[in-house]
Amino acid sequence: MIYLDNAATTRLDDEVAEAMAPYLKEYYGNPQSQHAAGRETANALLSARDKTAHIMGCSAEEVYFTSGGTESGNTAVKGVCAARGKGHLVISAIEHPSVLESAEFMRKFGFEITYVNPDKQGIVGVQSIEKAVKDNTVFCAVMAANNETGVIQPVEEIGKFCRGRGIFYYCDCVQTAGVLPLPTQFCDGLGISAHKFYGPKCSGAMYIRRGSKIEGLISGGMQERGFRGGTVNTAAVVGLSAALEKAYANADKTNKKVAELRDRFLNRVLFEIEGTHLNGDFALRVPSNANISFDGCDGENILFLLDLKGVAVSTGSACSAGAVAPSRVITAMGYGAERAKSAVRFTFGKYNSESEVDRAFEILKEAVEKIRAVKS
């Protein structure tokens, strides 16, 4: 299989798997236990928390292990709302559903929401955030980079603005962790997810700035300093910290390789297949992402034909009730349904090779020609 869906998830790195293995079998004590078996895993957690904090650029007490990006987004939105009781939320229209749907959930409890659209390049400008903010705004969410387009957002400016207004700023860093520096100093909360940087699934971490007004969501245990009850998955946390450490240690090399693969593919698509358009800013994007619309095609049809030939990609379209809805991210950027429905996301990773990229291009070209021939 040629796997070009690395924004959805990545293959577990062998070294990370090795680091985790002892905590799946040998060291199985509950880190809360008062005996030696418990102390062993508690020490592993301590060390993983220290490593994670060091990379995040915060103190160990500001790191909370979670099950991933979805839980972190839920915790940020609902936790701040629970602590504040009432108010207004400013949410970028291109956030992950974990943030968007949490905000909608809080509407039921009287919270008001303003959604902020990006521009045609996929960027949510600080000025549009400033315009959306009201006297009673308590929370703002703008992600570090969008999961569909890979477009990098001006989080430093947004964070500084929110800090000046006393607004809790949550930055979903799921698509940039291990790739770009984490904007910890500019936000009040951020979330990362290990399976996006060659770590295990269902393993995430959240930074929450000391002194923030936020409630935890999961009651019933003193784990994570009483903020998130439930026995911590030691192996998953060890895996997260090992994957994070390795990703940042090799980031320059990996980013260069991945961007070269992506550009090799993207240039061929844009120059050799007519009627193709890159979605989102050309330069301000994570190295892995090429989101391309194909005139006269449905992204879903391209996905199916590529899948038949062993190439894995994704679209931003959502299937509901048997119909395919166009990508809401590309629609929010101001494009029509046709462009949004014809978008396909190709995301490259460190395990891809040039020959895979070239083969995927040939398969894609054939698929697009086939779809267009049927339609004409």
Those residues whose C-beta lies under 8 Å from the C-beta of residue 295, and which sit 6 or more positions away, are 274, 275, 276, 277, 342
Q: For helices 14-24 and 234-249, what crossing angle results, to 10°? A: 160
Residue 143 or 333: the one with the smaller Cβ distance to ligand PLP is 143
Residue 201 φ then ψ, to 5°: -80, 160
How many Cβ atoms are within 10 Å of 315's Cβ, its own excluded?
Answer: 23
CB of 152 to ligand PLP, least distance (A): 12
User: By the criterion CB under 6 A, which residues form the site for ligand PLP?
Assistant: 68-70, 73, 96, 98, 143, 147, 172, 174-175, 193, 204
Of residues 124 and 305, the one with the C-beta less far from ligand PLP: 124
Q: Out of 81, 162, 171, 319, which one is annotated catalytic?
A: 319
98 versus 342: smaller Cβ distance to ligand PLP: 98
φ, ψ dihedrals at 97, nearest 5°: -55, -25
DSSP secondary structure string, 277-343? EE-S-SSSB-TTEEEEEETT--HHHHHHHHHHTTEE-B-S-EEETTEEEPPHHHHHTT--HHHHHTE
Cβ proximity to ligand PLP: between 70 and 233 the closer is 70
Task: Kindly state the smallest distance separating residue 76's Cβ from ligand PLP, in Å.
Answer: 11
Residues contacting residue 59 through CB under 8 Å, at least 6 positions apart: 53, 210
Whether residue 140 lies in the annotated active site? no
Nearest approach in angstroms of CB 288 to ligand PLP is 12
- Compute CA 47 distance to the chain's CA centroid, rounded to the nearest angstrom: 25
Alpha-carbon separation of residue 165 from 71, 111, 129 (angstroms) = 26, 18, 12
Residue 194 CB, nearest distance to ligand PLP (Å)?
A: 8
**Please, what is the minimum distance in Å from the beta carbon of residue 173 to ligand PLP?**
8
Give the relative orientation of helices 36-56 and 234-249 as an angle to the nearest 10 degrees: 30
Answer yes or no: are the C-beta atoms of 77 and 99 closer than 8 Å.
yes
In whole angstroms, give the CA distance from residue 255 to residue 251. Answer: 6
Residue partners of 180: CB distance under 8 A and separation at least 6: 144, 145, 152, 286
Minimum CB distance to ligand PLP smaller for 240 or for 340 = 240
Nearest approach, Cβ of residue 255 and ligand PLP (Å): 18
Nearer to ligand PLP, 70 or 276 (CB): 70
How many Cβ atoms sit within 10 Å of the Cβ of residue 108? 7
Residue closer to ligand PLP (CB basis): 75 or 276: 75
Shortest gap between Cβ of 372 and ligand PLP (angstroms)?
30
Characterize 81-100 residue by residue with b for buried, 16 or more Cβ atoms within 10 angstroms of its Cβ, and e for exposed. Answer: bbebeebbbbbbbbbbebbb
Q: How far, in Å, CA of 136 to CA of 133, rounded?
A: 8
Catalytic residues: 319
